[in-house]
Structure 1
Amino acid sequence: MDTETFLRPTAVIGGSLLVTLFLGWLLDVLLRRADARHHETPLWGQLRHCRLPFQVVLCTTLLRGSYREARILPEHAFAVGRVLTLVLIASAAWLLVRIATAIVDSSYARYAAGSSNDDRVRRVRTQVTLIQRVVTAVVVVVAVAAMLLTFPQMRTVGTSMLASAGVLGIVAGIAAQSSLGNLFAGLQIAFGDTVRIGDTVVVDGEWGTVEDITLTFLVVLTWDERRITMPVSYFTGKPYENWSRGGAQMTGTVFWHLDHSAPLDLMREQFQRILKEIPEWDGRAGGLAVTDTTPHTIQVRAVVTAKDASDVWTVRCEVRERLLNWLVDHHPYALPRIATSPALPSPRPRRSGPADW
């Protein structure tokens, strides 16, 4: 191996790395200064995450344009060019995804910081998340297709497959019917504003908060920290409860089954005192009434309100426990009892019948 054969590729590779590192550092410095000057937008700070893919694209481009003259592995020049091309396509796709993510995230952050409407913020967050994933999916698909088309064999196969593209499309459509349905359902959720990230929902009897929405599935975080993954088509084809629609304020009920002798007026007074001691109660409503009666008990219902589903659950539990303890301590006779005394005879005279003859 002569000196030129070793020094030329080493100098080209080393120079490309030095240029890449310098320009990457310079880009980071410029973005950091721009971020310091423009506090109103986080875009410049978000774009700093593009430094690594930018350096990969730059270095690959420099090597791709000079590897033949530099005689880098001349006996494998074709393979080197193919590898550099594939890396360039992949890194360019990576850079585009990072740039799109930075723009989307900064736009959402500015909107969230300037808006006081929580419903609109969650709606925009849901739409932005799905748009970002659609853009990522499109870029990845295009990049993979471009990488495959660099192989001559794939071009030949692609030309021969065009004749049967219609049949294959029909077969693929039938096979992917469920996936396509979820995909369009995800877009419908994003722009139809039926459910958003952060909404409190009840699905299949499970209460929780929408934690994440993708193009094909939706994750509900339940109150006991379980995560339920459901296809997004469920939310476009079946009924469900969305407690966050029209505002997060909630009304809850508490029921007691008590004896007929329960002191209702004293219960109402104690109920109001208990509500004032519960910080989660928002003060909008609070009442107590008898809603039903049976031969042995009466049904007493309390109505409470709170700012959201979590707080109304807390208020319900506190009211139920405190009022029950108060009854046990001060009015135990008001608790349900089972009558065990013998039945009294009927005061009416008994008629004589054939059995008495």
Structure 2
Amino acid sequence: MPDASAWETMLVFAIALVIAVIATFIVSAIASIIVRAAARRRDWAGILIRRARWPFRTVLLIGGVWGSIALAFPGVAWRPPVDHAFLIAMIAAGAWLVAQLFLFLADVGVSRYRMDVADNRVARRVHTQFQIVRRLVVVVIAILAVGAILLTFPGVRAVGASVLASAGIASIVAGLAAQSVLANVFAGIQIAFSEAIRVDDVVVVEEEWGRIREITLTYVVVMTWDERTVVLPCTYFTTKPFQNWTKYHSALIGSVELDVDWRISTDAMREELDRLLEGNELFDGRTKVLQVTDATGGLVRVRVLVSAADSAALWDLRCLVREELVEWLREQDAAALPLQRVLVGAEPARERSGEVRDVEEPVEVAEPREEAAAEREPRSEPKPVTGSRAGLFSGTADGEQRASEFTQAIPVQPPSEDDPSRRAGGPDGLEGKGEGGGAPDGSAN
């Protein structure tokens, strides 16, 4: 028959355990009410409760159970290993609580910077840095917790001196073995604070266009335009060149190129471009340029430059402009469709010898009467260039500002009095303004 004292001990333990559990939930509820009352009409109270509720309850519960055992079973032989187990559990729960409190502070700091606004460059920088720092701090807290748990074992403390003595050799061996891992970790930290890329940046990597979805200590996740996931090591962004389309701003300029016949009316084409872009929500109104950039091989290359607020809108705008201009050429200016001209009858000797030329392209032959009439008609005078036509680097305030970005950084030394170019070229010895190496071909081709 069990001893009466054993029943009393078990009863005391059960009562103490129930009291500890009830006290845990009561204290947790009171703390939640106090936090909500102190931070009424603010969001951080909900974040704190969501982050710290269960770690706080776990610490209270472990402490209550440990205290119940100490109260009910004082001085028993099996207490030391049980106390050691509870000490380890308390260290782990405390590390969990500390980590969650730090994540709460990080969430509060990040919540002040919204990502769903038009100009979110600062928000993307803050989110990226906090994303790296929070992972790094959590890893450090976990390592410290594991170290504190190991130090609770007497054997580990005894060999601590020898471990510290051989720490230099061990660190060299570990560094060589984990060279790639450590390189990625340091690259991740460098990315976070150098702002080469940020969360939600639009990048072109490995000929893939997408957005930065996640940045960790060892790898970066890029979500492509067709919803594929590209995972790259952090060292990729510190050792290889890549394109970041939202480094300073999200607005871009894109190009649309068309090869047309020499008879194209560029003025009519500009009018059609104005009609297309007027009131279009994809067009941001910054850049609207139509220029002839090439005229070789029997064709004329017309390039249209348009701008949009971001890369997604620019892609749709370029496709729309291309489709509408092709439709306009086919229906309104069919004479400007690309043609290949072949001069027939230029070499009578070959015709008499029976040589025949195969012509696969559309042939345009001028009638003699039409040529004679054209020769009799007086030729119209060429239109004077008034300078009012807008170009990428001229004609508008934005164009002049864009040109200054290419030219103002190049120092121009004034010529000396005996410089022949000064006498030949005018007061400043220059024939015209520099164009910074020519017009670009569009940043979003």
**Is TM (by shorter chain) over 0.5?**
yes
TM superposition shift of 1:44:
2.3
Structure 1 residues 222, 349: CA separation in 2 closer, same or farther (over 3 Å shift)?
closer
User: 1:214-256 deviations in whole A, cap 9, x for unaligned?
Assistant: 1111111111111211112222222111111222111000111
1:128 aligned partner, one-letter code: F
- In structure 1, list runs of 5 or more residues that go unmatched: 351-357
Residues paired across the two proteins, number: 345
Match of 2:157 in 1: 155
User: 1:268-299 deviations in whole A, cap 9, x for unaligned?
Assistant: 11111111142110011111122113324222
Match of 1:6 in 2: 10
Write the mapping of 1:210-229 to structure 2, written as runs, cut at 5 A: 210-229=212-231
In 2, the alpha carbon distance for the partners of 1:203 and 1:253 equals 21
In 2, the alpha carbon distance for the partners of 1:268 and 1:171 equals 68
Conserved 8 A contact 2:119-2:249? no
1:119 equivalent in alignment to 2:121: yes
Q: Kindly report the root-mean-square deviation, in angstroms, between the aligned alpha carbons of the 2 structures.
A: 2.6
Hey, which bits of structure 1, 4+ residues long, moved more than 6 A? Answer: 347-350
Identity score, percent: 38
1:344 aligned partner, one-letter code: G
Which structure would you say has the larger Rg? 2
2:37 pairs, out of 27, 33, 36, with 33
1:69 equivalent in alignment to 2:67: no
2:57 pairs, out of 44, 55, 58, with 55
In 2, the alpha carbon distance for the partners of 1:349 and 1:60 equals 105
- In structure 2, list runs of 5 or more residues that go unmatched: 352-445
Give the SS at the match of 2:285.
Answer: strand
Conserved 8 A contact 1:290-1:300? yes
TM superposition shift of 1:82:
2.9
Match of 1:20 in 2: 24
In 2, the alpha carbon distance for the partners of 1:263 and 1:75 equals 102
In 2, the alpha carbon distance for the partners of 1:179 and 1:344 equals 74
TM-score, length-normalised on structure 1?
0.88
Q: Which structure is higher in helix share?
A: 1
Of 3-12 and 22-31, more deviation after overlay is shown by 3-12
Structure 1 residues 26, 116: CA separation in 2 closer, same or farther (over 3 Å shift)?
farther
Match of 1:283 in 2: 285
Give the SS at the match of 2:284.
Answer: strand
TM superposition shift of 1:121:
1.8
TM superposition shift of 1:204:
1.8
2:11 aligned partner, one-letter code: L
Q: Which structure is higher in strand share?
A: 1
Structure 1 residues 116, 30: CA separation in 2 closer, same or farther (over 3 Å shift)?
farther
In 1, the alpha carbon distance for the partners of 2:290 and 2:236 equals 38
In 1, the alpha carbon distance for the partners of 2:217 and 2:243 equals 21
1:9 aligned partner, one-letter code: F
Conserved 8 A contact 2:10-2:72? no
Structure 1 residues 261, 282: CA separation in 2 closer, same or farther (over 3 Å shift)?
same
Match of 1:167 in 2: 169
Write the mapping of 1:1-357 to structure 2, written as runs, cut at 5 A: 1=2, 2-36=6-40, 39=42, 42-49=43-50, 50-71=52-73, 76-112=78-114, 118-338=120-340, 343-346=344-347
